[in-house]
Structure 1
């Protein structure tokens, strides 16, 4: 992905590390420390003070060790940073005070904590050709042979999302053919509906003020019908498939 490409581009200029948070704080810190060649253990001593081996650092110990060994020559890259818990976000804020360079990738900017201190750059969506290349690589990894026409057909199910593109290929390899696109983009037209209802209300009040009963009745009935259709349109059934 783009994070890996950035890592390869900046590796010669900075001491780089890339780490993804997947639910385990300690694994995340160990991954980061190992990428920066920072020790993840400390000497272990017996009751006589003799060194008898090593013991793994705790999560707090890893935080302190990393903070002591990073600086302005360090670049930390974190994909899917919207997953980071508050404790890590506050810790990263402290690292910024040490002068480190930090790149956080997120689907949407959470606009809090450490994110408020970073510049926001919106990346453009991948092109159709780039998505098909992602799908081709995933198909090759799974030993699946797909023609260009098949890739084009499958790409329509994933849109321009690399994660969904890989998922579509995995489903195809398992013989699961889901022709419905998994990506959805909706346009909120509620302001238009509300404006229409207000316009009907204006017609009703004009009829009331001018004494035009026909206009008053038509405006009132139209307003009530529009409100009824609006409420009926909000009715949604349970989205369950057969057998669930």
Structure 2
């Protein structure tokens, strides 16, 4: 269940191959490397939130807080969760994206080979999910619900990928989504989260409250950006 929550969180941020490449075949993008999840220290947050709205404040998990405090809460709550389950990501030169995640036994394990590929176009990277590899035992209800949502072009996503903004500065990578990227997916993800059986699990109960509030916060914002931070793995630094 917890791994499923991580996938949902990653999908929200992505709302946001076997052979793919950047627009210029002669150039190797600096994105092609292994990136470790940020440490979560004060100067190395795992999650960035840039929020603007009319009141400079939000209602989140039954508390009225400033936009700045909202960003800090998101980093503390979701950042700690991401750090526990996502260790690093590798953008391979052949266009495959591989993630090192926490396995069922608590040890690091890699995502299935060929599960996700990517293409780089300008300042965006498009993540292309290969559902037959990700879900060999059958597609989850998420895909059927997505296909029924008029705001989501599932065929286009499977062909062209989910767009993700990114920027690299001083060996640090931020991959982030904007308000416009997130809005088509917010209702669907909230529906999935609210349908989860908490069964006393505090994390799931908090996720339900947070997700319901997130829909309102994103819709009422004039600017909303959320990003994951990574550091270039020492073995790949030049």
TM-score by length of 2: 0.21
Larger RCO: 1 or 2 (CA < 8 Å, sep 6+): 2
Higher helix share: 1
Higher strand share: 2
Structure showing greater radius of gyration is 1
TM-score by length of 1: 0.20
